Amino acid sequence: MENQKVYGPHEAVMLGIELENAGHHFYTRVADCAVDFRVKEIFQKLAAAEVKHLKIIKEEIEPIFAPEWYREEDQQLMAEYLRDVEKQPVFPDPEEAADYCSRADTTVKAIDIGIRAEERSMMYFSYLRDATQDDAGKEAFERLYNEESKHLKMLQDLKKELLA
């Protein structure tokens, strides 16, 4: 990834969690206000997928990288710190998501944001997969990468359909 900042593996996982949370909130907001049933359906699927990704990260990947001494309070402090120093740049604020539902051109903009987000997520999970020495971690990051690839295709197909 260009200009990739270097984080320890646990920090990288926590940033992945932040990315998935932001995606869930964005996709949910757009789905809630979408008028076109195709947009609503795709964005609902994407929101649900982000929850599934969070589960994979928390249950399969995070335990590999979490130091044994890490407590729940430490994790919350680390998450707050990372939120302060590294604002997740992929998804807009969920409150802004409603602005993408009112007109066709803004709906396409919301889809474009989703496309860019899925591309960046693929890059992020690819980077983590390649940087991970643990086979189970590599496999889990590869699954997330493949999921994001499917989401990218769904959004690209939806955009083509809306613009046809």
Confidence of residue 99 (pLDDT cuts 50, 70, 90): low
Q: Which fold does the domain 9-163 belong to in CATH?
A: Ferritin (1.20.1260)
Confidence of residue 22 (pLDDT cuts 50, 70, 90): confident
Residue ranges covered by each domain of the chain: 9-163
Amino acid at 36: D
Strand ranges, E, within 14-115: none
> Could you read off the pLDDT of 60-87 as tens digits, one per residue?
887 777 666 555 555 555 555 555 545 5
Amino acid at 74: D
What spatial distance separates the first Cα and last Cα of the chain, rounded to whole Å? 33
The answer to whether the CB of 118 falls within 8 A of the CB of 146 is no
Region 135-159: mean pLDDT is 91
**Radius of gyration of the chain from its Cα atoms, rounded to whole angstroms:** 16
Distances (CA, A) of 93 to 6, 9, 14, 89, 143: 25, 26, 19, 10, 27
**82: nearest Cα among 13, 150, 137:** 13
